[in-house]
Structure 1
Amino acid sequence: MKHTLNILIFLFTTTVFAQYPDTLYGTAETRKMAQEITSAYDAKLGLTGTQWPIFENKIRDYLELSQKIKNTNEGAAELDALTELAVKESLDMQDILTRIQYNLYKKIRQDIQPLKVVNPNEVSNK
C-alpha cells in the first residue's frame, strides 16, 4: 500500500510540475512559412542539425507575434512595434548562432525577412 501511494504521488507531481515551452501554436501556414524562411537562412548560414529546429521555432514564434502586431496596429505604431520585435528576434538569434553566423544573419536579415513589404501602387495613390 505504501509503495502504491508513493507511485501515485510521484505520477501526480510529475505531471503537475511539467514545464511547457512558452511558444505560440500557429497555423499550418505559419509553420510552412517558418520552414521556408529557415531554409533560406540555412542556405546562407549553414545551420547545424541542433540549430535548425531551435531557429525554426524562434522564426515561427516571431512570425506569429509580427502577425499580431500587424493586425492590431497601423502606421508609425506598427512600424515601431515591428522594429522592436525585430531587435528582440535578433538578440534571440545571437544565442542560437555562432558569432560568424550571427554577423552574417544581421547582414541578410532584411533581405530574407523585411519588416513590411509596401506595395508601390498603394504609396503612389495616396
Structure 2
Amino acid sequence: MAHEYTNEIKCPYCDYEFSDSWEFNDSDECSEVDCPECGKEFALTVNIKIDYSTEKISCKDQTPPIPHEWDEPTFHDIDQEVIDRWNKEHWNAISDREPYRMWTRECKNCDVSEFKRVELGGDCPFIDEEK
C-alpha cells in the first residue's frame, strides 16, 4: 500500500512509521530507504511545500514612518434600546452606560483603527485633526 503526503515516512509494506522523518528532507529526488522494521526497501520522495504569509506594517513602523491616510469617519449611535438589548443578551454588561455615539476611522494603509466616544448626536471629533 502506498502512502502519499503523510507527515511522517511510512513503510508501504508494513506501515512502520519513522520517527525521524525530518532527517530525510534534504533531497527533493526519489531515494531508496530500508525499513528498520521489515527490512524491505522502498522508494521515498520528499515533497516540500512552501507557504508565504504577509501582513501590513503599521504606518509608524514603516522606514521612514508615514502619516496615516484615514478613511471617512463613520458613527454608530448606541441608544437606550441598544443598551437594553445588550444588557439582556450579555447579563447587564453595560448597565452603567448612558447612550452615546461612537465614531470610528481606519487607516487605508495599515488597518489601524481609532474610536472616539461622544454624546449621543455629537459631531465627529476627528474633524479638527490632521488627516
Q: TM-score range by the shorter chain?
A: under 0.3
State the structure with more CA Rg: 2
Larger strand fraction of residues: 2
Task: Please report the TM-score for the alignment, with normalisation by the length of structure 2.
Answer: 0.19
Larger helix fraction of residues: 1
